[in-house]
Amino acid sequence: MTAADDIGIRAVQEFLGKDALPDRIRCGSNNEQYVLIEEPEFGTAVSHLAANKFVLISLFCCEDFSAKAAQTLFYVFERRTSILVLVRDINGRATTIAGIYPSASWFERECRDGFGIEFEGAFDTRRLFLHETYPEGFHPLKKSFRNAPIVTRDAVNPADEYPFREVKGEGVYQIPVGPVHAGIIEPGHFRFSVIGETIFNLECRMFYKHRGIEKLAEGKSPEDCIGISQEVSGDESVANATAFCMAVEQISHMPVPERAWYLRTILLELERVCSHLGDQAGMLVDVAFPLGASQFSVLREECFRENDRLTGSRFLRGMVSLGGMNRDLSRAQLDELDAFVHQLRNRYKIGLKIVLSTASVIDRFATTGVIRPALLRPLNITGPSARASGGKVDVRINHPYGIYDRFAPHLQRLRDGDVLSRFTIKASEIMDSLDLIERLIAAIPEGEIRVGAPICDGYTLTLVESARGQNLCWVWIRAGVIERYKVRTASFGNWLAIEHAVQGNIVPDFPVINKSMNLSYAGTDL
């Protein structure tokens, strides 16, 4: 991330004045800038950032961060290579910014459920991750709450049931899908409003898998929280563990050996390949093309077996640690991986050629499920879904971490924003990841894989590029233990995009649109 004279600080100076800035700015351990904004000027500050094309990428709450207020809200904004955090001290109430940044609505509802904060002027005050059966007045992220069994409500008053958006008119009817599905997938509810088979509205209701991960991390040692970070989303284990370890390492000024970063990067790219192969296989299943789906499914399974051979885990768990890696990979293992990657690329090209030369597949993919470029910033859509609609954001390029400044991937972009574009972007990224793995294996240095150092107190924010897009992690260590662990995966923002992408499409196209974005239920609901 950039230094204190970046565009974020210049933007703040424009509405605060240069004289006020030195007393209000703090620099995080990752060079992100924290600026305290007083309540009367907060709306002006947010409007100014919006006018200067800053994107809201996260909003979260902490208790006991400031001696002046019961709660502190952190608003994280991004523009190009700049990360700016507006800090807002409050006492249970705050004005909404959802009218300026629509993506703030979910964040504010999350803060309301977790901490009991009321956002004045909010257009949506429904519960988010606490469904109707949770008791009234239950706010599990407060410091006063202690993890223990809770008594849920057996009967819910009809007036308290979740009010879905309604589209009324002649011939309009509702199709509820889920939360329990026919396939072995996680729960999520989709409420369609249709005329015939054409979709006019979709509302997604997630958060059936709330596990209390952020609360679980409180009071634990950073070492004990690595395992928690791996459970945020199963197929993003390396990405989320790396983000967490990076935060602790930066707070504690803990050096990571060069060889460890090569190994981490190899695993990060292997994780990306596995994820994209699964997406592509699923997309082909949903358009009834088993010839292509089976080839990609076989390749994905072989990747999982290679993961297991290398690390003892099909999902590459247990490898990333504070200060480096738990295990090394021998030269023989790396040579075998190099040979595996070479043959995987050749077989993948054959399957890809079959798919892209099949007219029936192209007919189902093309012009289906378009994400308009105008939605990328308001909703903070990231990853392949954004880059298929012309987006330029890839954390490995915009905020390079580890050795990505020397091994930068190619920015893969298309502009049509449909299912075919997302399929094609993921194909390009698979090829790019395989090339990158080969380059890393050829250049990996000898040396240590882990360096220990004392844990220090402090806080910082880190970003990584998971297979789905931009994952954010904020860690606050106090008295040597985790005071606050906040995670926001790419799925949290990208789920909102699917509600727009399906409009004007027909109901049978929903599965392939959904699969083309590969959104994580668990990664959205912590």
User: Of the candidates 120, 143, 177, which is a domain's last residue?
Assistant: 120
What would the pLDDT profile of 283-298 be if each residue is shown by its tens digit? 999 999 999 999 999 9
Task: Give the number of other CB atoms < 10 A from CB of residue 35.
Answer: 21
**Are 13 and 46 found together in one domain?**
yes
At 20, is the pLDDT very low, low, confident or very high (cuts 50, 70, 90)?
A: low
At 189, is the pLDDT very low, low, confident or very high (cuts 50, 70, 90)?
A: very high
At 40, is the pLDDT very low, low, confident or very high (cuts 50, 70, 90)?
A: confident
Please give the tally of structural domains in the chain. Answer: 3
Nearest partner of 263 among 324, 215, 195, judged by Cα: 324
**Are 482 and 347 found together in one domain?**
yes
User: Of the candidates 93, 120, 147, which is a domain's last residue?
Assistant: 120
Q: Residue 350 half-sphere exposure, CB side, CA atoms within 13 Å?
A: 8
CA distance 143 to 63: 7
Helix (H) or strand (E) holding 432: helix 419-443
Peptide bond preceding 511 in cis form (omega within 30 of 0):
no
At 346, is the pLDDT very low, low, confident or very high (cuts 50, 70, 90)?
A: very high
In a domain, 315, yes or no: yes
CATH classification of the domain holding 230: 1.10.645.10
In a domain, 507, yes or no: yes
In a domain, 266, yes or no: yes
Let me know: does 320 contact 226? Beta carbons within 8 Å: yes
**Are 322 and 273 found together in one domain?**
yes
CA distance 214 to 365: 38
**Are 87 and 221 found together in one domain?**
no
In a domain, 234, yes or no: yes
Residue 1: the pLDDT is 42
At 166, is the pLDDT very low, low, confident or very high (cuts 50, 70, 90)?
A: confident
Let me know: does 115 contact 139? Beta carbons within 8 Å: yes
User: Of the candidates 149, 179, 205, which is a domain's last residue?
Assistant: 205
Residue 6: the pLDDT is 67
CA-CA-CA-CA torsion for 396, 399, 405, 408, nearest 10 degrees?
30
**Are 201 and 236 found together in one domain?**
no
CATH classification of the domain holding 106: 3.30.460.80
**Are 186 and 93 found together in one domain?**
no
Let me know: does 229 contact 220? Beta carbons within 8 Å: no
Residue 21: the pLDDT is 60
CA distance 280 to 286: 10
**Are 189 and 253 found together in one domain?**
no
In a domain, 131, yes or no: no
At 388, is the pLDDT very low, low, confident or very high (cuts 50, 70, 90)?
A: very high
What would the pLDDT profile of 86-113 be if each residue is shown by its tens digit? 999 999 999 999 999 999 999 999 999 9
Q: Which residues contact 335 (CB under 8 A, 6 or more apart)?
A: 441
**Are 82 and 184 found together in one domain?**
no
**Are 275 and 412 found together in one domain?**
yes
CA distance 471 to 76: 13
Residue 3: the pLDDT is 43
Q: Which residues contact 306 (CB under 8 A, 6 or more apart)?
A: 270, 337, 340
SS3 77: strand
Task: Give the number of other CB atoms < 10 A from CB of residue 283.
Answer: 29
Helix (H) or strand (E) holding 395: helix 395-398
Nearest partner of 466 among 391, 396, 389, judged by Cα: 396
Give the pairing of strands 93-95 and 118-120.
parallel
**Are 182 and 76 found together in one domain?**
no
Instruction: Give the mean pLDDT of 451-478.
Output: 96
With pLDDT > 70 as the criterion, what percentage of the chain qualifies?
98
Query: What's the chain's length in residues?
Result: 526
SS3 174: strand
First to last CA, the chain: 26
Q: Read off the DSSP letter of residue 337.
A: H
Structural domain harbouring 81: 7-120
At 4, is the pLDDT very low, low, confident or very high (cuts 50, 70, 90)?
A: very low
**Are 377 and 465 found together in one domain?**
yes
Instruction: Give the mean pLDDT of 59-75.
Output: 95
In a domain, 101, yes or no: yes
In a domain, 142, yes or no: no
SS3 84: strand
In a domain, 149, yes or no: no
SS3 352: helix
**Are 290 and 337 found together in one domain?**
yes
